[in-house]
Amino acid sequence: MGYNLSDRGRRALDGLFTAIGQANGARDVSRNFALAPTSEQRLEDLQREQVGFLERINVIGVRDLIGQVIGIGANNMIASRRSRANLPRRPQYVGRLQDREFKLETTLFDSWLPWELVDAWSKFPDFAQRYAKHVATSVALSRIMVGWHGIEAAADTDPEDNPLGEDVNIGWLQKLRLEKPDHVMGRATVTAGDVTTATGAAAPIYIGAGSDHEDGDYKNIDALAYDLIAGMPSWARSSTDHVVVVSQDLVDEKYFPMINRPLADTIDGGKSTSDETVSDIVMSARQIGGRPAAIVPFFPEGTMLVTPLKNLSIYYQEGSRRRFIKDEPENMAQLVDYNSVNEGYVFEDTDFAVMAENITFGARP
C-alpha cells in the first residue's frame, strides 16, 4: 500500500519548491531551469562545507567545454631583473602551462527522497536547509568516487556493472595513466599508434621483508614512496606540499594512528570507520616516505598517490547546471530531484604526481 504524505510534509515541500524557485528566478521548479550564479556558487560552497576533502582541492568554474588546463597551484619561477637596454619587462604566468587540454562531460546527479523521510524532516523549521545539505553531500561524495575510479565517459552508464562510477567520467588516476604513463607503477604500458599509456594489465608490486627490489618490489611502503618521489623531475620532487594519499588497506593503524579520526561507537572499540571519516580526509600522525600520509574518501585499495592536494582539480562549466524537482507519486511516492552539470577531472601539473597501484603485501610468488 502506498504512503500518503502528511499535510505538514506537503507544506514543507511547498516551502522548499518556493525557496528554490525564488533563488533561481524559476516560476515552475518542476520544469527544467538553470541555476542562478549565486545558487551555483552556494551549491559549491555547501559541498565543500559538507565534505572537507573538496576544501583541499580546486573546484573551478570555466567558460568552455574544452580548453587548456589552467596549471593553477603549480610552481613557476617568476622572479627576474630587466635593464633599460632590455626593456620591456616580461611577466611570467603564475602557474605552469603544459599544453594539455581538459574536456568536460555532462554528469547527472539525479536523486530521490521517500515521502516517509520528507514527513520525518518536515517537523524541523530548517527543512529546506537540511534537504540542501543532503543533496550537496550526495553530489560531493559521488564526485570524489568518480574522481578516483572513473575510467571512461560512457554514453549510457551502468551502475550495476560499474558501482564506483567507472563509466561516468575520466577521473584523476586514469588521467595520470593516460597523460603521464612514466609516472605510474604497477601497470603495464600500452602503445597504440604514437601514444603510450599506462592502461595495460596489472603488474603487481609486492611489499614484504623478503622482497627483492630487482623484481620491482620493496621492503616496506616507505621505500616504495621514496622511489615514487625519486621518479619526479627535480623541481617537482623538492615541493614541500606533497601528500602521500594511500588506501586504508595500506595503513596499519598500529603504526600509523589517525590523529583526527572520530572514533565510532562499535563493538570493536572504535576501530571501524565511522560515517564522519568516510566523507572526509584523514591525516596520519606519522609520515610515509618523509611526506604526510592521508586517507581520502573512496580511494582504491592497493594504491598510493603522491601529489600536492591542490594539484587535483574539478572543472565545471559555469552556467551549465540544470535542475528540476517535483513529486512523482507514480514512482512509489517520492520527491525526485534532477540535477546535471558539465564537469571534468584535472591534474594541474602531471610532473607533480606519481602513483603506484596493485600493491600487495607478501613475497612475490
C-alpha cell at 212: 627483492
Which residues lie across from 361 on neighbouring strands? Answer: 207
Cα–Cα distance, 214 to 15 (Å, whole number): 66
Cα–Cα distance, 273 to 261 (Å, whole number): 8
C-alpha cell at 92: 611570467
The burial class, CB within 10 Å (0-12 / 13-18 / 19+), for 288 is buried
Cα–Cα distance, 262 to 257 (Å, whole number): 12
| Average pLDDT, integer, range 133-143 | 93
The whole-number pLDDT of residue 66 equals: 94
177 vs 276, residue with greater confidence: 177
Cα–Cα distance, 185 to 287 (Å, whole number): 21
Would you list the DSSP string of 299-363? PPTT-EEEEEGGGEEEEEETT--EEEEEE-GGGTSEEEEEEEEEEEEEES-GGG-EEE-SEEES-
52 vs 171, residue with greater confidence: 171
Mean pLDDT in the chain? 85
Cα–Cα distance, 12 to 29 (Å, whole number): 15
Pairing of strands 322-327, 334-347: antiparallel
The whole-number pLDDT of residue 98 equals: 63
The whole-number pLDDT of residue 93 equals: 57
Which residues, at least 6 apart from 152, have a Cβ–Cβ distance to it below 8 Å? 166, 167, 170, 174
* 232 pLDDT more than 80: yes
Instruction: Write down the pTM of the prediction.
Output: 0.87
The whole-number pLDDT of residue 260 equals: 44
**Strands laid side by side in the 304-308 sheet:** 184-185, 354-356, 304-308, 242-246, 291-295, 282-288
* 140 pLDDT more than 60: yes
* 253 pLDDT more than 50: no
What does the pLDDT look like over 35-48, one tens digit per residue?
Answer: 989 889 998 999 99
* Phi, psi at 214, each rounded to 5°: -65, -25
Q: How many CB atoms lie within 10 A of CB 346?
A: 28
Which residues lie across from 192 on neighbouring strands? Answer: 195
Query: Model confidence at 325, in pLDDT bands (50, 70, 90)?
Result: very high
Using alpha carbons only, what angle is made at residue 325 by residues 322 and 330, rounded to the nearest 5 degrees?
A: 130
